């Protein structure tokens, strides 16, 4: 039996409170479903210029969140040929409408601002509109029934209130709770959005010219908006703090992985680098710290990797997986741990982490693949304790619901802000401070306590403390009524760093983090 308390580095402010197990076992890869396309509607234009990626965050949680693990729904009736044709026709009819959505304008960047507290970068809560077009299976159903069934982060009563108050609209018009959805209906839901704190460590510029920007990404910061992260992402921070806007994402790093990240400043250069990555013309080198004394020499792992669930972003070695190849070499020892140089020769999700788990030398503080949820051997040699994929997923969900440590799915089906497992405030906000008409107020329960920021290089941001006048409050927002535990340093870090990328006629490398023992290792002579 899995002990929920054994989860490493539980993160209270990461993910959602509960997870629904519907349709997550070896599901087909996420498609551009209505809500998947619209969770970050303002990213549509930018993402259209970027290569698709399976996941960005360390772990991706279910798009459908619920308070309890309820029974699976009955199988839907088979769609008739005429209905299928109509659905396809509707998609074509709405394509032009979708492409007209605005990109990331200055107005979007100015939705909110940062403040720095306890060594963390935080975002003032702000109002945000999630939008999605009606899915084919929703047509003819009542809007309240659809939200109560499809989006279980909140009870039906809350959605009913949102419809009645006009915060949940159809085609930007107020509708009754018994309104039946039609083809092409655009649903918009105004939410009071609370983002998750990330590390205050600065994003340093490694190289910049008219075509590209290369940065050293700190651990804990997602690359682009996903789940509960929007302004606390690399693309937003670079735009807001460095005035580097409309960057084109060329590749991704997991949220907890630090290191080298390349963006294109022009579409031509972005396509060129994307092509080099697809053709495997880019050599990548990572550094990590693993448990135990890693074997001598160059160790090559060729075990195929299978995605167990795209929804929560979990992989394992399996003969049914895709070809995968990684080489490893121990370059130093630190106590009972080893510093290992990793060279992924393919580009599978979580490739380095899964191969190290299989070899029996997991990354020291990997919150997923160095965990007994994979069995007593923690997945060494592919041994997951005789569990089926379904059992593995169910155990992960149970642990998540107990400790709330899984990340949020990128592009998940979430239209309302998700409650976190937190301590309820005992104090009631001062009603005199609530400005209902402007949806703005002050929160008197928050106290700013700024700590000294760590030494930074490159662009220096001003250290702005919490400003009571910049915050907002929504009397109907659940998260406005809870206190959050700030994440600890261990919650924000995993000992895996993207150190060096080398392509056709170019090469970039980053500074190494302290845990890589750069004072003890002559990294310049490693490849000689």
Q: Which residues are catalytic?
A: 254
In angstroms, the Cα distances linking 126 to 12, 65, 111, 440, 473 are 21, 22, 7, 9, 8
- The Cα 394–Cα 392 span in angstroms is 6
Q: How far is CA 354 from the centre of its chain?
A: 19
- The Cα 469–Cα 233 span in angstroms is 24
Sequence-distant (6+) residues with CB within 8 A of 305 are: 315, 316, 317, 318, 321, 322, 324, 348, 349, 350, 351, 354, 355
Q: What phi and psi values does residue 90 have, to the nearest 5 degrees?
A: -65, -40
- For 254, which DSSP code? -
- The Cα 443–Cα 471 span in angstroms is 7
Per the CB < 8 A criterion, the answer to whether 164 and 197 are in contact is no
User: How many residues in total does the chain contain?
Assistant: 528
The token pair at 94 is 């709405």
337-344 and 423-424 beta bridge pairing: unpaired
What is residue 1's three-state secondary structure? coil
- The Cα 292–Cα 118 span in angstroms is 33
Of 285, 192, 187, 249, whose CA–CA distance to 501 is shortest? Answer: 285
Per the CB < 8 A criterion, the answer to whether 519 and 289 are in contact is no
Sequence-distant (6+) residues with CB within 8 A of 80 are: none
The H-or-E segment that residue 122 falls in is strand 120-123
In angstroms, the Cα distances linking 301 to 79, 125, 305, 371, 377 are 45, 45, 11, 20, 18
Residue 320: CB atoms within 10 A of its CB come to: 7
The token pair at 457 is 């290089």
**Helix, strand, coil shares, percent, the chain, to 5:** 25, 20, 55
Tokens 């002559």 sit on residue: 522
């Amino acid at each position: 039996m899995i002990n929920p308390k054994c989860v490493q580095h539980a993160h209270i402010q990461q993910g959602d409170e509960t997870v629904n197990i519907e349709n997550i076992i070896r599901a087909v890869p996420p498609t551009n479903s209505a809500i998947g396309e619209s969770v970050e509607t303002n990213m549509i234009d930018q993402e259209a210029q970027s290569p698709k990626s399976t996941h960005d965050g360390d772990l991706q949680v279910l798009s459908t969140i619920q308070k309890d693990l309820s029974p699976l729904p009955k199988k839907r009736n088979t769609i008739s040929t005429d209905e299928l044709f109509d659905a396809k026709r509707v998609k074509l009819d709405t394509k032009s409408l979708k492409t007209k959505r605005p990109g990331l304008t200055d107005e979007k960047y100015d939705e909110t601002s940062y403040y720095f507290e306890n060594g963390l970068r935080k975002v003032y809560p702000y109002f945000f509109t999630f939008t999605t077009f009606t899915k084919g299976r929703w047509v003819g159903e009542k809007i309240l029934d659809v939200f109560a069934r499809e989006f279980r982060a909140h009870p039906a009563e809350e959605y009913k209130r949102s419809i009645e108050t006009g915060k949940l609209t159809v085609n930007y018009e107020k509708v009754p709770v018994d309104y039946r959805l039609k083809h092409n209906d655009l649903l918009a839901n105004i939410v009071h959005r609370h983002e998750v704190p990330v590390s205050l460590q600065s994003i340093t510029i490694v190289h910049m010219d008219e075509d590209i920007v290369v940065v050293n990404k700190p651990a804990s910061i997602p690359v682009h908006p996903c789940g509960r992260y929007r302004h606390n992402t690399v693309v937003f921070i670079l735009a807001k703090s460095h005035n580097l806007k409309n960057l084109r994402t060329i590749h991704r790093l997991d949220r907890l992985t630090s290191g080298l990240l390349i963006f294109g400043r022009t579409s031509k250069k972005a396509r060129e680098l994307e092509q080099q990555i697809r053709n495997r013309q880019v050599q990548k080198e990572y550094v990590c710290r693993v448990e135990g004394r890693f074997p001598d020499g160059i160790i090559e792992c060729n075990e195929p990797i299978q995605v167990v669930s795209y929804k929560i972003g979990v992989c394992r070695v399996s003969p049914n997986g895709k070809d995968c190849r990684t080489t490893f070499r121990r370059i130093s020892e630190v106590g009972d741990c080893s510093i290992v140089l990793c060279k992924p020769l393919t580009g599978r999700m979580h490739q380095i982490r899964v191969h190290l788990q299989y070899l029996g030398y997991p990354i020291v503080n990997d919150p997923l693949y160095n965990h007994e949820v994979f069995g007593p051997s923690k997945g060494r040699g592919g041994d997951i304790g005789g569990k089926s994929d379904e059992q593995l997923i169910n155990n992960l969900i149970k642990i998540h619901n107990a400790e709330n440590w899984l990340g949020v799915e990128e592009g998940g089906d979430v239209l309302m802000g998700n409650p976190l497992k937190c301590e309820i405030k005992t104090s009631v906000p001062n009603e005199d401070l609530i400005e209902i008409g402007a949806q703005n107020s002050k929160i008197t329960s928050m106290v700013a306590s700024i700590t000294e920021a760590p030494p930074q290089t490159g662009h220096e941001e001003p250290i702005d403390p919490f400003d009571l006048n910049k915050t907002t409050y929504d009397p109907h927002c659940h998260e406005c009524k809870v206190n959050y535990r700030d994440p600890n340093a261990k919650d924000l870090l995993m000992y895996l760093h993207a150190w060096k990328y080398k392509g056709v006629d170019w090469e970039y490398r980053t500074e190494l983090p302290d845990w890589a023992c750069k004072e003890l290792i002559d990294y310049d002579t490693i490849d000689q």
